[in-house]
Chain A
Amino acid sequence: MIQLVTPEYLVTMQNNLHKLAEGVLRPISRKYDEAEHEYPKELDMFKNIKVMARPKKKKEGETSSSGEEKKPKRGANLGMVATIEAMCWGDAALLLSFPNAGLGNAAIIAVANDEQFERFGNKWAAMAITEPGAGSDSGAITTTATRDGDFWVLNGEKIFVTCADRCEVVVVWATVDKKAGKSGIKSFVVEKGTSGFTLEHLEHKLGIRASDTGTFVLSDCRIPYNNILGDPEVKMSTEGFKGVMKTFDNTRPMVAAMATGIARAAVEFTKEQFEQKGYTFDYKKNVSNVSAVERELYMMEANVEAMRLLTWRAAWMADNGQFNNLEASMAKAKAGRYATLVTQRCCELLGPVGYSTHYLAEKWMRDSKIMDIFEGTGQIQHLIVARNVMEMSSKELK
């Protein structure tokens, strides 16, 4: 049965996270925007909080209702997107800097075997996919992994790696067989300090400056054979690659949630500022009968709600074991673009208050822009949605 009122436990969680975002993240938001790349030591307090956790495996014979009273099923993905929105209302770049919550961690949780999880499960893991010549076209990566006995030897360059400086391990995408195309692409866990693995430099960015984005060079970097995630065999189908891409179905709603959090921050702040100037927002007036400013703020609120609902639907589907490739891309297409537009517009409506670094509105405008870029640009999301709904292949719709 359709039930879209936020459940009590989620409201409680949202309230608690809001206090945390307000009390811990907001006060240091500007500080680490200016101190680009400096690790926000205040985040150490989150080290032991498992932002990303591996679902407990049931032991043999164990049933779900072993004596416990039947509790409603609480979705991990829904909880995750609600958490992310609340924290990004505080500061998105700081959320990206949370210890042990990198994208690599998501990959390890999803595909590592028990032995690998034992070794890497508690380490901060970044993800290295993008290369100078391979952005949206992740099938075109040229970093190679060559087997040498009990080792893999990696060569190539990886750019735009989030948490590059602070992470302990990096999940690196590389091809084991260039001729095999996408089916040759595998992911490997490379530990920091491995010889031939160099953090070349950190990027200076438009926004999310607290997040340390960097470039790695792999030069005859030798890692144990057992550091390959998933099946080492090259199959002559793209199933393996599709499997890796599937990770995005879980991470795209997360980015959509980040976008929603920033957009909400901007709209709330802008509304407060206008309320102080005597505007009232009572959800009664015809939007054609109010000032342009009021109309826009009402529309922006509607858009933020739309962003959240699309995001929650994608997460809810994942929690319920449904294939959500289309819905995940819909959420990100909408949220990435509209977070960008909403935060831009808020700055404009706020005037000098929107441009001055004395306030955070200008920062949200810069931070939100990345939401329409990373984890697949808005254009890629539109392609995915269009191919899905029109049942066209990537060859039919390029």
Chain B
Amino acid sequence: MVEEISFALSEEQQMMQDTVRQLVQANITDGIHQMDENRQLNNQAVQKFWELGIIQSMIPEEFGGYGMDSSPVLHTLMLEELAYGDMTFAIYAMLPAVFVLPIVHLGTKEQKELYLPEFCNTTFFPATLAINELSIAFDVWNCTTTAEKKGDKYVINGSKCFVPLADESNFMIVVAHYEGNPELFIVTKDSTGVKVGDREKNSGWWALPTFEVVFENCIIPASNRLGDSSAITWLLQRTKTALAAIGTGISRASYEYAKKYAKERQQFGESIASRQSIAFMIAEMAYEIDAMRLLAWKAASTIENKLDATKLSYLAKIYAGEMVMKITDYGVQILGGHGYIRDHPVERYYRNGRSIAVCEGMAII
């Protein structure tokens, strides 16, 4: 039972936030522009994050992990910090969690035995989630990918987009309609009928390899159904909150860059920050970022208390989706023409920020 509200980080939360912040500062901040231009994240940075043991800690000891209770609030804090460095780093580094967490929470003993030990090694082990589809106003609840039961198999048909690291991931969870409800299915890449397409070219996420994945009469064993018809509700609460946290991180990056610029940039003999038209934009960015963060925290805290966060995670995501655009737009606008040039990161935040409202399930808490 909850006894009192707190907006303060615990020592553990503070420590983890600091650790991730330092890791981002040391490995992402300076190089991210070039990584974005080169369409390639620094693998060492991903590996360094892996070595913090976040993914392994979620896995029960009997399957080779550290067996700690995974904390949605802690993951929310981490995702904001990672996304402050870059959204692509947040998705990339935490990607294995989109496979591991559902297995830990919803999987059968056999599923856990089969997959979890693979994630308990010292090198980054990719796995992914195929949820988005290339359609207008994509809605998970109306996804067109289907699963059909045939004897002791499921047959999956449909095509997914925005599947991160699909080329190097041997395991993925696929969201497909089954008996009137989207459900989760474990698909290994060697299953018949799985086709990983070319790497996608998106408006943003340049440093993140994402792929189209087509399922053509893809056959998987019946034992690969993950959870039941309620699995999607479980999943979306956690992925929506994760995207809200990422949106907060991107927004904060844009805000801090624009704020520093506004104070330094001299026009008419004084800093542009001393003009209310700029200062009020900065103020609005400041409190909207806090509002986004608090909404994400509240949803995460609700999940952590094992309560239903369907509504709160939904509100957190739509709020973040709208506000991240407002804030990253302001970020570009405050820099004026300079903001439009790729030498400054605000245009990247703008492109990446657009994705929050557009996609689902890119990360999990």
Using CB atoms, name the residue of chain B closest to A283: B314
Q: How far is the CB of B73 from chain A (nearest CB, A)?
A: 5
B1 CB–A CB distance under 8 Å: yes
B259 contact set on A, CB distance < 8 A: 389-390
Q: How far is the CB of B6 from chain A (nearest CB, A)?
A: 5
A287 CB–B CB distance under 8 Å: yes
Using CB atoms, name the residue of chain B closest to A387: B279
Q: How far is the CB of B17 from chain A (nearest CB, A)?
A: 11
Given A286-B139, A289-B139, A330-B290, verify A389-B6 contact (CB < 8 Å): no
Residue in B12, B280, B294 whose beta carbon sits within 8 Å of that of A386 in the complex: B280
Please classify the interface of chain A as helix (H, G, I), strand (E, B), loop, or mixed, using the class held by over half of its residues.
helix
Contact A303 B319 (CB under 8 A): yes
Q: How far is the CA of A104 from the CA of B29 in the complex (A)?
A: 51
Q: How far is the CB of A202 from chain B (nearest CB, A)?
A: 34
Contact B319 A7 (CB under 8 A): no
Contact B279 A390 (CB under 8 A): yes
Contact A288 B137 (CB under 8 A): yes
Q: How far is the CA of A302 from the CA of B313 in the complex (A)?
A: 10
Q: How far is the CA of A285 from the CA of B139 in the complex (A)?
A: 6
Given A2-B10, A5-B302, A396-B274, verify A302-B294 contact (CB < 8 Å): no
Contact A5 B283 (CB under 8 A): no
Contact with A along B266-310 (1 / 0, CB 8 A): 000000011010011011101110111011011011100101001
Given A2-B9, A302-B315, verify A313-B294 contact (CB < 8 Å): yes
Q: How far is the CB of A372 from chain B (nearest CB, A)?
A: 14
Contact A289 B137 (CB under 8 A): yes
A6 contact set on B, CB distance < 8 A: 2, 5
Q: How far is the CA of A379 from the CA of B276 in the complex (A)?
A: 9
Residue with the highest number of chain A CB atoms closer than 10 Å, among B5, B314, B357: B5
Residue in A333, A382, A392 whose beta carbon sits within 8 Å of that of B273 in the complex: A392
Q: How far is the CA of A302 from the CA of B305 in the complex (A)?
A: 21
Residue in B276, B279, B298 whose beta carbon sits within 8 Å of that of A309 in the complex: B298
Q: How far is the CB of B196 from chain A (nearest CB, A)?
A: 26
Q: How far is the CB of B276 from chain A (nearest CB, A)?
A: 7
A3 contact set on B, CB distance < 8 A: 2, 4-6, 301
B165 CB–A CB distance under 8 Å: no
Contact B7 A397 (CB under 8 A): no
Q: How far is the CA of A161 from the CA of B175 in the complex (A)?
A: 61
Using CB atoms, name the residue of chain A closest to B284: A382
Instruction: Kindly state the interface size class of chain A when it binds its partner.
Output: 35 or more
Contact with A along B158-200 (1 / 0, CB 8 A): 0000000000000000000000000000000000000000000
Residue in A8, A10, A334 whose beta carbon sits within 8 Å of that of B287 in the complex: A334
Which residues of A in the span 301-318 have a Cβ within 8 Å of any Cβ on B? 301-303, 305-306, 309-310, 312-313, 316-317
Contact A283 B310 (CB under 8 A): yes
Contact B318 A4 (CB under 8 A): no
A303 contact set on B, CB distance < 8 A: 319
A385 CB–B CB distance under 8 Å: yes
Residue with the highest number of chain B CB atoms closer than 10 Å, among A3, A379, A396, A397: A3
Contact with A along B127-156 (1 / 0, CB 8 A): 000000000111111100000000000000
A351 CB–B CB distance under 8 Å: no
Q: How many A-B residue pairs have CB under 8 A?
A: 171
B333 CB–A CB distance under 8 Å: no
Given A283-B310, A389-B286, verify A1-B13 contact (CB < 8 Å): yes
Contact A283 B311 (CB under 8 A): yes
Q: How far is the CA of A330 from the CA of B311 in the complex (A)?
A: 24
Q: How far is the CA of A302 from the CA of B322 in the complex (A)?
A: 11
Using CB atoms, name the residue of chain B closest to A333: B287
Q: How far is the CA of A398 from the CA of B275 in the complex (A)?
A: 8
Q: How far is the CA of A351 from the CA of B311 in the complex (A)?
A: 27
Q: How far is the CA of A74 from the CA of B2 in the complex (A)?
A: 12
Contact with B along A154-184 (1 / 0, CB 8 A): 0000000000000000000000000000000
B114 CB–A CB distance under 8 Å: no
Q: How far is the CB of A326 from chain B (nearest CB, A)?
A: 8
Residue in B10, B73, B322 whose beta carbon sits within 8 Å of that of A299 in the complex: B322
Contact B287 A330 (CB under 8 A): yes
A313 contact set on B, CB distance < 8 A: 7, 290, 294
A55 CB–B CB distance under 8 Å: no
Contact B315 A305 (CB under 8 A): yes
15 extra interchain contacts, Cβ-Cβ under 8 A, other than A283-B310, A316-B7, A390-B273?
A6-B2, A6-B5, A7-B1, A7-B5, A285-B139, A299-B322, A309-B298, A327-B290, A379-B280, A382-B283, A383-B276, A383-B279, A386-B286, A387-B279, A390-B282
Q: Which residues of A line the B interface, CB within 8 A?
A: 1-8, 10, 72-75, 78, 283-289, 298-299, 301-303, 305-306, 309-310, 312-313, 316-317, 320, 327, 330, 333-334, 379, 381-383, 385-387, 389-390, 392, 396-398
19 A-B contact pairs sorted by A residue (CB < 8 Å): A1-B10, A2-B301, A4-B7, A4-B302, A5-B298, A283-B310, A283-B314, A284-B310, A302-B315, A302-B318, A305-B315, A310-B294, A330-B287, A334-B287, A382-B280, A386-B282, A386-B283, A390-B263, A392-B263
